[in-house]
Amino acid sequence: MERTDVAADAAVEVIPLGGLGEFGMNMLLVSCGDDALLVDAGVMFPEPELFGVDLVIPDLEVLERWRGRIVALVLTHGHEDHIGAIAHVFEHVSGPIYATPFTLALVEPKLDEHGIDPGDRLTAVAPRESVMAGPFRIEFLRVTHSMPDCVALAIHTPAGTIVHTGDFKVDQTPLDGEAFDLHRFAELGGQGVLALLSDSTNADRRGVTGSEREVRDGFEEVFSSAPGRILVAAFSTSVYRMQLLVDLAAQFDRRVAFVGRGMQHVSAIAERLGRLRIPAGVAVREADVRDLRPSEVLCLCTGSQGEPLAALPRIAIDDHRHVRLEPDDLVVFSARVIPGNEKAIGRVMNHVARRGAHIVGESDKHVHVSGHGSEEELKLVLSLVKPRYFVPIHGEYRQLARHARMATLVCPGTTVLMAQDGDVLRFDREGGRLAGRVAAGRVLIDGTRTGEVADEVLRDRRHLAGDGLVVPVVAIDGQTGALAQVPEVITRGLALDAKHDDVLRDAPSLLARAIEAAPQEERTDPGLLKERVRLEVQRMFRKRAGRRPLVLPVVLEV
Ligand SMILES: [Zn+2]
Ligand SMILES: [Zn+2]
């Protein structure tokens, strides 16, 4: 196989800071000499046991060390696990932020929310375009995924070309007609690629993932048989899914309401950029839903993961301002279940079923297709790129290992480097190898859901030292939702002056009153109750003591 010659003393290091050995939180540092380049700045959604945490982002200590020398940030696409930490990462980057227009349109409001003015640093790029950043030439390649405007990267470095796929599947019939640039992948492979870093999310699925178009038939059956409202829970970034549903709504004479902040936000951006086409008269506001006959309604809702404050979970317990469920309604779950969210989603389904509405999931009809390539697609990319080194990325260890085995089958001459977050991959005259580790880990962030993003509280040691920790313990009768005893409120590292310490005295009874005032369904649902307790306690300490402690509610069912 071809060898990529490494120029004398041109060493390049690749350090994954998130996304390897776990799902989400994708971020990777590429350095050469005194310059570094950052690829993606993602978040991971908190697992249910991390009560009260809103966001999990990679530990930024490494970036701190590179401060002033990170010449650019490159974003592959607009999913939260690739751009969600942008506001936290922004100040560590000295140069431009390169991304496609749709990705940038999702990034802008995130910076804005945090009061960050990027000036002229947001730079739109197009597939097949190249930009220079320090010693790197970064080339963008079109890939297909579950949202528009996604790219892979060919990073041309003094040590050779590194191809980073971003997230992808090989959709041969993309809804927007913008095809995966397989030709350029093949060309690069012919010229010689030093290392391929490729998406392993679905490495344990056989065959081919399938086109975004494939769910049309499943949804057509839903539309032709549903007598009442149709509610579809999906990720708000699933713009292709949105388009397909908008088109079906038009065809079946239904009006579409985007329900939930995320849905409204992303659909508005997509429409503005011409990525979502809504025929005149098809879209209605949330508030208009109740004036329409049920058979005229399609609601696209947030909350596919059972998030307590999102649209569908609120609708499911009759706690939504505009949308109510009736027995003839049909609720479609059109999203992957992120591992760890099964219980929360199951509870939402129970609430839906209790209202007599029908539930359609992936096991009933083909109403969801993944955005990540399965085995045959991963092999295709490997065989086109024929890298000298292969580094599986985006996945837990078992997916990375599966992907590694595929590489040894497809490209016998390729050396696999298995890395996890924090590993330093070094490419120099001696070749490529693991060469040490840096600190990598997670930082938990609290507060974005309450809209107090500017004041958000970093949940690390510094934060705990400053504002302390509050653990409200609530024991509840799982059947009736009645309090089994007065809640306990335990604090650590929270120093209050005499003027404010009455909040500690009053907290248990205030909390008890707030819980008793909540609807029974919320009190018997531990996920919803935890969220309620967290918000109440946060508010109490903020209002009465001016403090923002970290609140970790514990709900015991007795
Ligand atoms: Zn993605
Ligand atoms: Zn991703």
pLDDT tens per residue, range 179-225: 999 999 999 999 999 999 999 999 999 999 999 999 999 999 999 99
How many A from CA of 516 to the centre of ligand 2? 41
How many A from CA of 79 to the centre of ligand 1? 5
Please identify every residue annotated as catalytic: 199, 372
Report which bound ligand comes closest to the CA of 144: 1
Report which bound ligand comes closest to the CA of 79: 1
Mean pLDDT of all residues in 313-333: 95
Residue 383 CA: distances (Å) to CA of 293, 334, 379, 407, 408 = 54, 32, 6, 9, 11
Mean pLDDT of all residues in 447-476: 55
Q: Provide φ and ψ at 469, rounded to 5°.
A: -130, 135
Instruction: Please count the CA atoms within 13 angstroms of the CA of 420 that sit on its side-chain side.
Output: 10
How many A from CA of 386 to the centre of ligand 2? 23
Q: Is the pLDDT of residue 486 over 80?
A: yes
Q: Are 212 and 172 in contact (CB under 8 A)?
A: no
pLDDT of residue 453: 30
Mean pLDDT of all residues in 248-268: 97
Q: Rounded distance, CA 382 to CA 196, Å?
A: 8
pLDDT of residue 7: 52
pLDDT tens, residue by residue, 81-111: 999 999 999 999 999 999 999 999 999 999 9
Mean pLDDT of all residues in 268-297: 97
pLDDT of residue 443: 77
pLDDT of residue 215: 97
Residue 347 CA: distances (Å) to CA of 23, 35, 41, 86, 363 = 23, 49, 32, 32, 17
Q: Is the pLDDT of residue 454 over 60?
A: no
Report which bound ligand comes closest to the CA of 235: 1
Q: Is the pLDDT of residue 463 over 90?
A: no
- DSSP characters for 419-448? --TTEEEEEETTEEEEEEE----EEEEE-G
pLDDT of residue 50: 52
SS3 496: coil
- DSSP single-letter state for residue 28: E
Lowest average pLDDT, out of 238-247, 508-517, 522-531, goes to 522-531
- 119 Cβ contact partners less than 8 Å away, ≥ 6 residues apart: none
Mean pLDDT of all residues in 437-446: 79
Residue with tokens 């038939």: 217
pLDDT of residue 464: 53
How many A from CA of 47 to the centre of ligand 2? 16
pLDDT of residue 319: 92
pLDDT of residue 520: 86
> Which residues are found with C-beta within 5 Å of the ion, ligand 2?
79, 81, 167
Exposure string (b/e) for 84-113, b if CB count within 10 Å is 16 or more? Answer: bbbbbbbebbbbbbbbbebbbbbbeebbee
pLDDT of residue 446: 61
Lowest average pLDDT, out of 32-36, 229-233, 510-514, goes to 510-514
pLDDT of residue 57: 81
pLDDT of residue 353: 97
Q: Is the pLDDT of residue 553 over 90?
A: no
Average pLDDT, the chain: 90
How many A from CA of 504 to the centre of ligand 2? 42
Q: Rounded distance, CA 276 to CA 270, Å?
A: 5
pLDDT of residue 289: 96
Report which bound ligand comes closest to the CA of 40: 2
Q: Is the pLDDT of residue 460 over 50?
A: no
- 390 Cβ contact partners less than 8 Å away, ≥ 6 residues apart: 195, 196, 198, 382, 404, 407, 411, 414, 415, 416, 417
Mean pLDDT of all residues in 536-552: 85
Mean pLDDT of all residues in 287-301: 97
pLDDT of residue 1: 41
Report which bound ligand comes closest to the CA of 26: 2
How many A from CA of 34 to the centre of ligand 2? 29
Q: How confident is the model at residue 449 (pLDDT cuts 50, 70, 90)?
A: very low
Q: Are 478 and 524 in contact (CB under 8 A)?
A: yes
How many A from CA of 81 to the centre of ligand 2? 5
Mean pLDDT of all residues in 320-336: 96
Q: Is the pLDDT of residue 461 over 80?
A: no
Q: Is the pLDDT of residue 35 over 50?
A: yes
Q: Is the pLDDT of residue 266 over 50?
A: yes
pLDDT of residue 9: 59
How many A from CA of 371 to the centre of ligand 2? 9
